[in-house]
Structure 1
Amino acid sequence: MATLLFTALGSLFGGPIAGALGALVGRQLDRAIIGTPGREGPRLKELSVTTSSYGTPIPRVHGRMRVPGTIIWATDLVEHRDKQGGGKGKPSYTTYSYSASLAVALSSRPLQGIGRIWADGNLLRGAAGDMKAGGEIRFYNGFGDQPVDPLLVAAEGAGECPAYRGLSYVVFEDLQLGDFGNRIPALTFEVFTSEGELTVSSLLDGVIDDVSGNLPLEGVEGISCEGPLADLLGQMDAVFPLDCDVSGDRLSLGREGASPVRALSDATISVADDAFGAQQGFSRKRLPQPSSRPEILRYYDVDRDYQPGLQRAPGRPAAGQPATIDLPVAIAAGNARSLISRTAQRAGWARQSLSWRTAELDPAIAPGSLVTIPGEPGVWRVEEWEWRESGLELGLWRAPAIAPALVGGDSGRLNPPLDQPVGETILQAFELPWDGNGPGDSPLLYAAVSSPAAGWPGAALFADQGDGQLQPLGASGRTRATIGEVLGVLSPSSPHVFDRNSQIEVRLASPTMALSSADARALAFGANRALLCSEIVQFAGAVSLGNGHWRLSGFLRGRGGTEAVIAGHGVNERFVLLDGTQVPLDPGIVGDLAGVTIAALGLGESQPVISQIACRGITRRPLSPVHPRMASDGSGGLVLRWTRRARGAWGWPDGVDLPLNEETESYQVVYESAGVALAAWTVFEPRIEIAASLLASLVEASPAGNFAVRQQGRHGLSEPLLFAATA
């Protein structure tokens, strides 16, 4: 407040220079009145990120912590080019992606393992060990027998690459950088050591010999030491008071207040003029209330993904500015609040001191010993002693009587990144009928790619033409197709009427996927189209049965010219909702060879998932004729008539004749029996006349034969329209 007041007055009367001088005077006055905030230990850092600076200390990690690591080796970015398209007159395009390989040092002492890895704040590796981006990761625990990494050897040479024994590190090989802006992301690592309960001796292990200190650090789950060990012990002493004993042949560290309490004899009166306590043999002193008492503890909160947390001591705040203790430990919020509560209590107790003179020499009483004094309550600590002619003079401080701090703590709110499993990839490739857009000469190939896991990152798609080579088709993206399995068999029905009787139960790949019902108007505009094996249907009713199970009813069958397979359904067929989430495939890469399959390889698979292409050829195949009409020609012969259909012309907006959508109108008429053609004709109009004599010979050769009419297109024949041999 004084700073603001003196700054305003100085600026008002003397301009900017006087304002600056006024601010300086005001700050001095504020410090004199309020005091300055205290701090013990170096300031606790926010979560830092991976660096590659020379001279950066690599921490010694105990327990479990989250560390940034230091890049000790890396390659340049590797560019990957993926050219797609360009077939059948279509323009080609090239996509670029980048990857990098790097080694990151984590700890200068051995680790047991690593847990989660964060990249730019998002999870790169989940708690289950699943990578969320492409690439391989190898972990080296830092023991003395760890081998050399093969990637580093290949890059640097067998005689030039160290094994980094004694250093725990990880190696990323071909880490895909597309999700990170094609750069190496800021990495942090959750690491673990094999230690159980952390003790003071575990901090000294491998650093100081001939020391004992099996003092447990209650509640502490991890410690990161980046500087001198003495600095760390000084920070720990603020909340875990230590007793140091050097009377033996080795350094011994123990808990303050754990030594046995011994009784002092009565005080000895000195006759010296300058001696203290001339009449009593002791003198008492009480220090003033400290201007800054430790009441705030900053730490790494294990319940907030090791982000820095802060806890205050409970109770009424002391006068003056509270001091802050920065402790580089991973601890829960409740334990942290208990620590700062006990620390604040100790600071309040340690304000009474006594100077005591005794004529008895007890070898067991030395600096650090706990004693009781005749006529004085409580326990006192020997801080110093001096041998004088008048006796042994002891400097005593009141030892705090710390009650258990039964207080709770709250970590606060955390919005962690979702750690969803990568999940397996589910794939169904198929071809769809021509929709009337474009020339209609290229197959409309799609892949429905999905996964049970909501965090599925997508998969890479490939075409396998049977030669053992996988041709890349691009990435599927993260959008999951609604895909599942039909439980039971869909019964046959007419494609000409609304099927109100059939019902099927569908089990979707994930319970989070959903279906919806549709009315007649929505069905007319193409809603709720689905692929069941090789038949395209529409459904009106969808009722959830729970846990991803749905009952579908009210069907329109044989949509898109698939009426020929209505009666061919089996059990456990694939269900794919045709809702636009499918991935288009480049027909120029897939090709026209029979037996071509589509493969998908996601992060959750060690081997690609393979799918046959359902409805193969349906895009360019003409639709079968309809409305068969057969009549006698009056002389014993037959006249066969039919109505053609046009692929891509699914509506009838003008009510007149449909476009042909083929080069010429022609039909193949075959008289066949048991799949064997006995006679064949090619006609160029939707009718044919069969003479009586020819009809008689055909019937005589095969009474059970049928006439089959197929429309001829640029790329093949339609499904047959069947006529009986007799009218």
Structure 2
Amino acid sequence: MATLLLTAVGTAVGGPIGGAVGAFIGRQADQALFGTSRQGPRLKELTVTTSSYGQPLPRNFGRMRVAGSIIWSTELQESKNKQGGSKGKPSTTTYSYSVSFAVALSSTPIERIGRIWADGNLLRGAAGDLKVAGDLRFYPGKGDSRVDPLIAADRGALAPAFRDVACVVFEDLQLADFGNRIPALTFEIFSENGETISVSELVPSAEPSQGNAVLDHARGYLDEGGSIGSTLATIDQVFPLVCTTHASGLRLESAYSVSEEIPILPEQVSIRDSEDAQERHKQRGGRIGSEPIALRYYDEERDYQPSVQRALGIRPDGRQVMVDLPAAMNAQGARQLANSNAHRARWRNEHVIWRIGELNPDIGPGHLVRLPNAAGIWLVKSWEWSDFGVELSLDRVSPEILGELVSDSGASNAPADNPITPTQLFAFEAPAGDNSNPTDRAIFAAATSQSEGWRGAALFIEQGTALQEIGQTGSSRAVAGTLTVPLGTSLCTHIEPNADILVHLNSPDLAFQGTDVMGLSNGANRLMVGGELIQFLDAQSLGNGEWRLSGLLRGRAGTEPSALVGHDMGTSAVLLDDRTTTLNPSTIPASQSLRIAAIGLADDEPVFADLQNVGLSRRAIIPIAPLIREENDGAWKLCWTRRARGQWTWPDGVEVPLVEEQELYSVGYGPCEAPFVAWPLDEPQLILSQAQRADLLANYGPGQIWVKQIGSYGESPPLLLAELT
């Protein structure tokens, strides 16, 4: 505001020169009244990986989050996968890309790497698991680092080993999740110096400190280059230092390290002045408003994002100071440092010049002393010879702040670190869908896992000792599990409201959803239990992945024979929805003994599943509605209604289309496997006279009359028509 006002006034009075002078004075006034001064190197808002010549590599101490620089890379590698193309369906070719590259992280050795972020999402979790396909190798930056074999294969004999540079090498990192480009990467690194950062580590030529020159509350520090002096100046704003020279070299110590015995200075040397010597050289409150009010740092609890903690107390008017410290710490430690820093700065406003007759070699800059007949502790800042003796420049040391301050890091939208768990696989044939091609098999793979961090798996078919890839599952886990108690039989005639199924899902976060009768009629909640297709109305969670499904409609889509048998405990139960994977039938041989395999990121070995219900999707459906009509002459007219695969809704109530090559039936008397008598028919009826029935009883004894529909790919189960006794 003052800048605008004084610029206008200066221009009106003195023209362009007056305007410039007014603007300068106005900026000074605005800064004094409203400005916040920032001291120290500017903290970066999570910089990302770059590849620029001449860019210095930072020195890292403790734990930090860094971006690094790409120092080697290959071209993108393209892979293609062709799917479909059977029975008139168009084929689909998908392309995927991968790349290999190396990233330099630090010019100082580091012990290990932790999490890795790619475009803000986790590429590598805290457990060391990569979230996408690829390999990762880590080199700690020692002087004896070996040449990476992949770089050596690419660059030959001139391949560098990048010794004394900590780096990682990605091999064949899949880029589908990152728009087919190298993502913006940041790395969590852990240096060898552990959880304590000593100031002497930052200055290679300094003596090891005596244990008191430690960055309190800081568990990591980032030095991005520049002079050592500027680095120490930044640290000195928060952790006051004293630099002294000794016979052995440079020594850095904390300016406020209190020893057990603090010497007392002698009385001042009197001077020939009428003014009181002590009061003449004592200044109080000379720098009010200049104390730092806040500290910016990298917050561990917010994934090392820059955060601010402010000191307690009334905010002074005028310019306020905020210190940027490139250190990693938690919110409570940063709040403690910010408050201690401001508290210390306020007490430093009390300054004393103390004259003594001779110099004591045991008292010098950085030492703590007491004054005779005065309270408090004073820090010797400097000394100087004068005409009246030795003048010591003293600053008052702030009293210790007792207790700990409570603080909060604030909200953080950190990406979830879900572990990648092994794949669980189910493979089966299911009844053909509505209006599906009657010549195609409906083969499904249901892949699931315990954690939602599972990213999908590649599917294969076993061919002898080899595996042939047949597709991908996608990243959505199927809702699949097993029965925890046996499931009894059912006549499949109506909804059974009191019947239920107990299912255990492999992951507690997977869930079933309830529906209503209209939902059932539209095909909702279809559950494949063994060889039976069941629909359910209600779903109740019992905790720990246990579910109770009730209101059952059994034997759907021609699976009544399985419902008449029931199911044992441990039978697979898979929800048929868009999370199951439909397999291309042209890639699956028509074999009774076949295994499907899946390989995910967490699968050390292929996960196999036997293909269940082989032939179910094309087998002829059992006829329904058996009827006996007795004619006037006593003959029996046995009738039934045919069914068609894929025609489940039956909207008009008339005969369904014939999906087989021709309409054929086999009616038999006696055992289904080896009937005494069989009648091949091409229409859904059989007439038996009284004499024929008498002959059957006389020749073969009592027995059952049944019918099977003959389909293009096999017979249906038998339907009981009548019984002769």
Residue equivalent to 1:651 = 649
Is 1:530–1:578's contact at 8 Å kept on the other side of the alignment?
yes
**C-alpha separation between the residues in 2 aligned to 1:349 and 1:120?**
46
**C-alpha separation between the residues in 2 aligned to 1:472 and 1:80?**
15
**C-alpha separation between the residues in 2 aligned to 1:33 and 1:581?**
62
Residue equivalent to 1:3 = 3
In structure 2, the CA distance between the partners of 1:670 and 1:473, relative to structure 1 (3 Å rule), is farther
User: How many residues are matched?
Assistant: 716
Mapping of residues 477-626 of structure 1, within 5 Å:
477-500=474-497, 502-566=499-563, 567-626=565-624
In structure 2, the CA distance between the partners of 1:681 and 1:163, relative to structure 1 (3 Å rule), is farther
Is 1:355–1:393's contact at 8 Å kept on the other side of the alignment?
no
* More divergent stretch after superposition (357-366 vs 165-174): 357-366
Mapping of residues 302-381 of structure 1, within 5 Å:
302-381=300-379
**C-alpha separation between the residues in 2 aligned to 1:501 and 1:40?**
73
Is 2:98–2:173's contact at 8 Å kept on the other side of the alignment?
yes
**C-alpha separation between the residues in 2 aligned to 1:330 and 1:97?**
38
In structure 2, the CA distance between the partners of 1:511 and 1:23, relative to structure 1 (3 Å rule), is farther
**C-alpha separation between the residues in 2 aligned to 1:278 and 1:555?**
103
* 1:469 and 2:467 aligned: yes
* 1:134 and 2:133 aligned: yes
In structure 2, the CA distance between the partners of 1:247 and 1:458, relative to structure 1 (3 Å rule), is same
TM-score between the two structures when normalised by the length of structure 1: 0.89
Residue equivalent to 1:400 = 397
SS in 1 for 2:660: coil
Is 2:200–2:208's contact at 8 Å kept on the other side of the alignment?
no
Is 1:465–1:593's contact at 8 Å kept on the other side of the alignment?
no
In structure 2, the CA distance between the partners of 1:348 and 1:665, relative to structure 1 (3 Å rule), is same
Please state how far the C-alpha of 1:587 moved relative to its aligned partner.
1.5
> Residue type matched to 1:130 in 2?
D
Deviations 1:445-480 (A, max 9, x none): 222232232333222233334462222313x22333
**C-alpha separation between the residues in 2 aligned to 1:277 and 1:267?**
15
SS in 1 for 2:27: helix
**C-alpha separation between the residues in 2 aligned to 1:616 and 1:7?**
88
Please state how far the C-alpha of 1:636 moved relative to its aligned partner.
11
In structure 2, the CA distance between the partners of 1:655 and 1:693, relative to structure 1 (3 Å rule), is closer
Please state how far the C-alpha of 1:577 moved relative to its aligned partner.
2.0
Deviations 1:527-555 (A, max 9, x none): 33211111011223433323332223332
- Give unmatched runs, 5+ long, in structure 1: none
**C-alpha separation between the residues in 1 aligned to 2:670 and 2:137?**
66
Mapping of residues 428-447 of structure 1, within 5 Å:
428-447=426-445
> Residue type matched to 2:653 in 1?
G
In structure 2, the CA distance between the partners of 1:113 and 1:655, relative to structure 1 (3 Å rule), is same
In structure 2, the CA distance between the partners of 1:144 and 1:488, relative to structure 1 (3 Å rule), is same
Is 2:420–2:602's contact at 8 Å kept on the other side of the alignment?
yes
**C-alpha separation between the residues in 2 aligned to 1:722 and 1:21?**
111
* More divergent stretch after superposition (294-303 vs 659-668): 659-668
**C-alpha separation between the residues in 1 aligned to 2:29 and 2:319?**
12
> Residue type matched to 2:526 in 1?
R
SS in 2 for 1:345: helix
**C-alpha separation between the residues in 1 aligned to 2:115 and 2:142?**
21
> Residue type matched to 1:478 in 2?
S
**C-alpha separation between the residues in 2 aligned to 1:197 and 1:593?**
61
Is 1:71–1:102's contact at 8 Å kept on the other side of the alignment?
yes
Residue equivalent to 1:426 = 424
SS in 1 for 2:4: helix
In structure 2, the CA distance between the partners of 1:665 and 1:343, relative to structure 1 (3 Å rule), is same
> Residue type matched to 1:263 in 2?
I
Deviations 1:5-59 (A, max 9, x none): 2456689x79xx9799747623422304643643332212221111111222222
**C-alpha separation between the residues in 2 aligned to 1:440 and 1:430?**
17
Please state how far the C-alpha of 1:117 moved relative to its aligned partner.
1.0
* More divergent stretch after superposition (598-607 vs 676-685): 676-685
SS in 2 for 1:676: coil
Please state how far the C-alpha of 1:94 moved relative to its aligned partner.
0.8
**C-alpha separation between the residues in 1 aligned to 2:551 and 2:277?**
105
> Residue type matched to 1:2 in 2?
A
Residue equivalent to 2:262 = 261
In structure 2, the CA distance between the partners of 1:195 and 1:20, relative to structure 1 (3 Å rule), is same
- Give unmatched runs, 5+ long, in structure 2: none
Please state how far the C-alpha of 1:517 moved relative to its aligned partner.
4.1
Residue equivalent to 2:48 = 49
In structure 2, the CA distance between the partners of 1:52 and 1:213, relative to structure 1 (3 Å rule), is farther
In structure 2, the CA distance between the partners of 1:466 and 1:560, relative to structure 1 (3 Å rule), is farther
Is 1:8–1:19's contact at 8 Å kept on the other side of the alignment?
no
Deviations 1:463-507 (A, max 9, x none): 334462222313x22333222221111111212244455433222
Deviations 1:315-353 (A, max 9, x none): 122342112211110011222122122222232233344
Is 1:282–1:356's contact at 8 Å kept on the other side of the alignment?
no
SS in 2 for 1:261: coil
* More divergent stretch after superposition (31-40 vs 558-567): 31-40
**C-alpha separation between the residues in 2 aligned to 1:536 and 1:682?**
30
Mapping of residues 166-181 of structure 1, within 5 Å:
166-181=164-179
**C-alpha separation between the residues in 2 aligned to 1:504 and 1:517?**
13
Is 1:462–1:600's contact at 8 Å kept on the other side of the alignment?
yes
Is 1:267–1:356's contact at 8 Å kept on the other side of the alignment?
yes
Mapping of residues 204-243 of structure 1, within 5 Å:
204=202, 207-208=204-205, 210-214=207-211, 215-227=213-225, 228-243=227-242
In structure 2, the CA distance between the partners of 1:24 and 1:683, relative to structure 1 (3 Å rule), is farther
Is 1:282–1:357's contact at 8 Å kept on the other side of the alignment?
no
**C-alpha separation between the residues in 1 aligned to 2:487 and 2:438?**
31
Please state how far the C-alpha of 1:372 moved relative to its aligned partner.
3.1
Deviations 1:373-417 (A, max 9, x none): 3455433333333445x5632232223223226433322221211
In structure 2, the CA distance between the partners of 1:266 and 1:668, relative to structure 1 (3 Å rule), is same
**C-alpha separation between the residues in 1 aligned to 2:38 and 2:612?**
70
* More divergent stretch after superposition (394-403 vs 79-88): 394-403
Which one of the candidate residues 443, 447, 462 is aligned to 1:449? 447
Percent of aligned pairs with the same amino acid = 43
SS in 1 for 2:444: strand
In structure 2, the CA distance between the partners of 1:343 and 1:677, relative to structure 1 (3 Å rule), is same
In structure 2, the CA distance between the partners of 1:21 and 1:590, relative to structure 1 (3 Å rule), is farther
Please state how far the C-alpha of 1:306 moved relative to its aligned partner.
0.6
Is 2:206–2:251's contact at 8 Å kept on the other side of the alignment?
no
SS in 1 for 2:377: strand
Is 1:283–1:356's contact at 8 Å kept on the other side of the alignment?
no
In structure 2, the CA distance between the partners of 1:519 and 1:231, relative to structure 1 (3 Å rule), is same
- Superposed CA RMSD in Å reads 3.3
**C-alpha separation between the residues in 2 aligned to 1:583 and 1:662?**
27
Mapping of residues 293-304 of structure 1, within 5 Å:
293-304=291-302
TM-score between the two structures when normalised by the length of structure 2: 0.89
**C-alpha separation between the residues in 1 aligned to 2:142 and 2:45?**
29
In structure 2, the CA distance between the partners of 1:179 and 1:709, relative to structure 1 (3 Å rule), is same
Is 2:358–2:390's contact at 8 Å kept on the other side of the alignment?
no
Is 2:531–2:559's contact at 8 Å kept on the other side of the alignment?
yes
Residue equivalent to 2:98 = 99
**C-alpha separation between the residues in 2 aligned to 1:327 and 1:650?**
70
> Residue type matched to 1:243 in 2?
V
